[in-house]
């Protein structure tokens, strides 16, 4: 079985933002879809794992966005598993436009969760081997992200049925969408997301309330923000994120 899987997507009209450019959350969904397809070919899809009382959960994501595309343009995603050690397996992604322009790079870390205990398991003890390509799309050892201490923005969201995935918790892309809503309006309107780091720390379920907080980081050439998602009912920290933004080109591509 080839370690690299490729899949093409056409950007839909409902997947673009106010600039007419593909949303970062749409890109995250493309990566998730390609990863799921490849896992199915490898015999370790979510449904395969659920038959054993297990499931995949995302632990970390690091996304870089050097380019962008518009509605109806085609993109190609290449993905491969790069490491498998202990309780975690890393998967890499490269996304390009039809003309070969780089659009996105990403690396991610997945864990296998026991559905009964809701705790991660040692992968080699529970799953068969699959081919690895030991090349990282982004060299990242997934160091702990800083904790937000002085929130400047706070928004509240309730987990809806449409936010849930097959694991019956809020899908990982929804976490990113909540966090991105908290950046200042001027940043959202005048800048493009260039980098996103996410550390997933806890699950959140239907009907629960999420508090999304944001704090700007000082220094550096780009605008950068710390984000934190908390469950309001018990104060549990759900996610830590870092976003970095670059000025929109003029005219926009």
- Structure confidence at residue 167 (pLDDT): 92
The structure tokens listed for 209 are 């309330």
Return d(Cα 224, Cα 183) in angstroms, integer: 10
Q: What is the pLDDT of residues 211-230, one digit of tens each?
A: 999 999 987 778 999 999 99
* Spans of the chain, pLDDT less than 70: 1-2, 250-253
Cα–Cα distance measured from residue 200 to residue 212, given in angstroms and rounded to the nearest whole number: 14
pLDDT at res. 248? 82
Residue 9, exposed/middle/buried by CB under 10 A (0-12, 13-18, 19+)? buried
Cα 24–chain centre separation: 9
Residue 11: per-residue pLDDT: 98
Token pair listed for 141: 């050892």
pLDDT value of position 1: 59
pLDDT of residue 250: 63
Write down the pLDDT at residue 39: 96
Single pTM value for the model: 0.95
Contact 160, 206 (CB under 8 A): yes
SS (H, E, C) the chain: CCCCEEEEEECCHHHECCCCEECHHHHHHHHHHHHHHHHHHCCCCHHHHHCCCEEEEEEEEEEECCCCCECCCEEEEEEEEEEEECCEEEEEEEEEECCCCEEEEEEEEEEEEECCCCEECCHHHHCCCCCCCCCCCCCCCCCCCCCCCCCCEEEEEECCHHHECCCCCECHHHHHHHHHCCCCHHHHHHEEEEEEEEEECCCCCCCCEEEEEEEEECCCCCEEEEEEEEECCCCCEEEEEEEEEEECCCCCC
Compute the distance between CA of residue 164 and CA of residue 172 in angstroms, rounded to an integer.
9
Q: What is the pLDDT of residue 24?
A: 98
Please provide residue 245's backbone torsions phi and psi, each rounded to the nearest 5 degrees. -130, 140
Structural domains of the chain, ranges and CATH numbers in brackets: 1-142 (3.10.129.10), 144-253 (3.10.129.10)
pLDDT at residue 221, rounded to an integer: 77
Check residue 4 and give its pLDDT: 96
Let me know if 84 is exposed, middle or buried by CB neighbors in 10 A (0-12, 13-18, 19+). Answer: middle
| Ramachandran class of 178: left when φ > 0, alpha when ψ lies in -120 to 50, beta otherwise | alpha
Q: How many of the other CB atoms lie within 10 Å of CB of 131?
A: 11
Q: What is the pLDDT of residue 222?
A: 85
Q: What angle do CA 44, 128, 88 make, to 5 degrees?
A: 75
Nearest-angstrom CA–CA distance, 190 and 192: 7
């Amino acid at each position: 079985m080839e370690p690299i899987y490729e899949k093409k997507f056409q950007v839909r009209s409902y997947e673009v933002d106010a600039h007419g450019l593909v949303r970062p959350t749409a890109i995250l969904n493309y990566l998730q879809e390609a990863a799921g397809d490849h896992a199915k070919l490898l015999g370790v899809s979510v449904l395969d794992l659920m038959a054993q009382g297990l499931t995949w959960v995302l632990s970390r994501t690091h996304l870089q966005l050097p380019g962008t595309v518009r509605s109806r343009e085609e993109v190609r995603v290449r993905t491969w598993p790069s490491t498998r050690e202990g309780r975690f397996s890393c998967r890499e992604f490269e996304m390009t436009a039809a003309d070969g322009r780089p659009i996105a790079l990403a690396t991610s870390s997945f864990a296998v969760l026991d559905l009964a205990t809701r705790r991660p398991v040692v992968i080699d003890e529970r799953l068969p081997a699959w081919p690895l390509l030991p090349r990282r799309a982004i060299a990242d050892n997934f160091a702990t992200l800083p904790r937000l201490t002085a929130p400047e923005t706070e928004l509240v969201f309730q987990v809806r049925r449409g936010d849930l995935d097959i694991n019956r918790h809020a899908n990982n892309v929804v976490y990113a969408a909540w966090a991105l809503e908290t950046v200042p309006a001027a940043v959202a309107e005048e800048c493009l997301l260039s980098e996103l780091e996410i550390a997933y720390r806890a699950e959140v379920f239907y009907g629960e309330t999420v508090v999304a907080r944001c704090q700007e980081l000082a220094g550096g050439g780009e605008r950068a923000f710390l984000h934190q998602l908390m469950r309001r009912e018990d104060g549990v920290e759900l996610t830590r994120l870092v976003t970095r933004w670059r000025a929109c080109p003029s005219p926009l591509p």
